[in-house]
Structure formats: C-alpha cells, structure tokens
Amino acid sequence: MRAAVWYKAKDVRVEEREVPELQTNEVKVRVAWTGICGSDLHEYLHGPLTVPVDEPDPLTKQTAPLTLGHEFSAVVEETGVNVSRVKKGDRVVINPLITYGNKDPHLDIYDGFNFIGLGRDGGFADYVVLDEKHLYMLPEGLTLEEGALVEPSAVSVQALKEGNFQAGQTVGVYGAGPIGLLTVLAAKAQGASTIVVYDISEARLEKAKELGATYVVNSADQDPVEVTKELVAEGFDVTIEAAGVEATVNQAIHTTKKRGIVVIVSLISNPIKITPMDLIGSGVVITSSAAYEPDVYKKTIDLIATGKMDVKQAVTKHISLENIVTEGFEALTKDKSEVKILVELSGEK
C-alpha cells in the first residue's frame, strides 16, 4: 500500500509499505480521506515533537519512520475474530487518541497520551490496522469527507467545554487557523450569542466571517483590547486562545469578562509572561484543553451529522497522497488562505 512516512524534519516520503497483519481484536480499514493537521505540519517542519525517534513510545511501542495522519475516515475492510462492534463495509470515523485507559474519561488523558498518526502509523496510507475501540460509526447522511473533520472539530468542542460554555454566551477566539475556525463553527452550533475572532491574516479573518464570526478584528491594525470594549462591553464569557503567543494570551485575559474563562488550546511550549494581578483583579480563570473525551467525540459527530456544524466550509483543498509534501505541507506553510487540506486516499464519499 501507499503511505506518507515521516523519517525526519523535511523528510516525509510517499512509499510502498506492507499492510500490517491483523490481530484478533483489530480491524483493517480502507482510508477514505485524511486531513492535514497543524501537528503534522510541525512534525514536517521541525519535528520530532510527538513522533518517537530514539526509543519506542511507551503507549504505541513504535518508533519512526512512521506514517503520519490522525484525522481520518474509512470503510471497514476486514475484522479480527474477536471484533464485535463493526463489520466489513461499515463507514467509520477514527478517534486516534491512545491512552492507558486506567482512569475516568476526564482524567484518562492526563495519565499520558499519544495519537494514531503521530505515535504510531496513521491515516496517510491506503490501509490502517487498529483496535476496534478507535472506531465510531458514521451516521447516515454524514459523508466520509465530513468524517475526516470530526477529530479537529472535537478539539474545538472540548475547548468550549473546558470553558464551561453555555448557549447564549459570548465567545472570543484568538487565532483563525483550523482550530480557531472550527471553534467558530462549534460555538455557533451550540448557540453563542456573539463570536469575535482575532488574527493578523486578512484571508483567515475573511474565512472566519464566512463561517459565522459576528465580528473579526485584525490585531495588526487595531488594539484587540480597545476594540473589544466597543464590541462586547463586559468582555467574553469564554475566550479560546488558539494563536499561541504571549501577546494573544494577555489579550485573551484582558478581553474576558470578570470571572470569565480563558482556555488555552494552542501548544505553547516556551515560557511566556503574564501578570497574576490581572487575574486577581478580574477573577478571570485560565485553563487549558487537551484533545477530547469520548463523549465529546460522540457529541461532535452529532453536531456535524445534524447539520449544526457545517465543517465542509473549513476545507480549502483536496489533494492526492503523492502531492502531500508540495501541495500539502509546503502550501500550508506559505499560504495563509489555506485552512483544512484533505488528502484523498480511496476518495469514497
């Protein structure tokens, strides 16, 4: 089968690989579509970040070179003898999160996690063999193409949940990349009264408007804190930080209302400065969000299947696996108007 295999930064090769042997509790799926995620791009540009290189990942027991791709939908091709939840021909979406599974769902992820497609072979391949627990049935009316957008959408739904978001509330979103834009859709789908998006790319702000942002603010031209006072006088109930720099974290704090919640969803791995007195004076709470709980994954599938979240709007391009480096990774690096690029594997609808 074909697979896009990560060897090292700037070295992802589309090559022939053997389909792994099926174990009794495993399912072989024929991949339909796989989305390119910011984390795939990070691995391509300056990895390894999550990809295990020197020693096997404790959860997956695998090391690079490995096949990337964690946002994918598929059709069941073959099932191991102990598999009971799916059968050949079922259309499925994959929850790529790998945990130890020893704790309650809301604690489980904090016990250590990795992903199919980052810690072990993933969905930029014709076939993937995986444990049946990773599969969710795709409801009638939901296309395989939409199925490939469940994973990043679930990240946004979880982030809003961590912010205790309720219908009727106001939401600020810093960063109009894929997660920021999907947060706009998730907030709108769940009844946000006002959504304001901040970015420095006009193309991305344009997209945010298209997807349902009430207002967009170009932070390069206008001071977010000053503008927000005019747009949402008291500040936001929930502010999602998906831009990932010191300035936006502080802007998020200063545009959140008293006792409101800032949720950091961007992966900031360097120290940044904030002033605790800003929190003491406002009661603003800073929290974070990581991946998604199983219930949030199911809820996200429902939000998309019922038409409340029209995730197709976030797709800007479809490409073939052979062109994943030039038309995928390189295009996302250079062109800010690209949001979600889908890689066609079987291309089934």
Judged by the rule CB under 5 A, the positions of this chain that interact with Zn ion are 37
CB closer to Zn ion, 116 vs 197: 116
- Least separation in angstroms between residue 149's CB and Zn ion is 10
Selection from 132, 18, 124, 151 nearest residue 78 by Cα: 132
Selection from 285, 259, 289 nearest residue 274 by Cα: 285
Cα distances from 326 to residues 44, 323, 331, 334, 349, in angstroms, run 12, 6, 6, 11, 25
The residue number with the shortest CB distance to Zn ion is 37
CB closer to Zn ion, 237 vs 293: 293
- Least separation in angstroms between residue 160's CB and Zn ion is 17
Q: Contact at 8 Å (CB) between 228 and 255?
A: yes
- Least separation in angstroms between residue 271's CB and Zn ion is 25
User: Beta strands 236-241 and 170-174: pairing type?
Assistant: parallel
CB closer to Zn ion, 88 vs 318: 318
CB closer to Zn ion, 37 vs 64: 37
Q: What is the 3-state secondary structure (H, E, C) of 223-257?
A: CHHHHHHHHCCCCEEEEEECCCCHHHHHHHHHCEE
CB closer to Zn ion, 40 vs 237: 40
CB closer to Zn ion, 37 vs 261: 37
- Least separation in angstroms between residue 122's CB and Zn ion is 10
Residue environment code for 279-303, b if the CB has 16+ CB neighbours within 10 A, otherwise e: eeebebebeebebbbeebbebbbeb
| Dist CA 70 CA 273 (whole Å) | 32
- Least separation in angstroms between residue 46's CB and Zn ion is 17
- Least separation in angstroms between residue 148's CB and Zn ion is 11
Numbers of helices and strands, H then E, in the chain:
11, 18
Q: Contact at 8 Å (CB) between 319 and 341?
A: yes
Query: Residue 159: which residues within 8 A CB-CB, separation 6 or more?
Result: 179, 183, 240, 242, 263, 265, 289
CB closer to Zn ion, 37 vs 321: 37
- Least separation in angstroms between residue 317's CB and Zn ion is 17
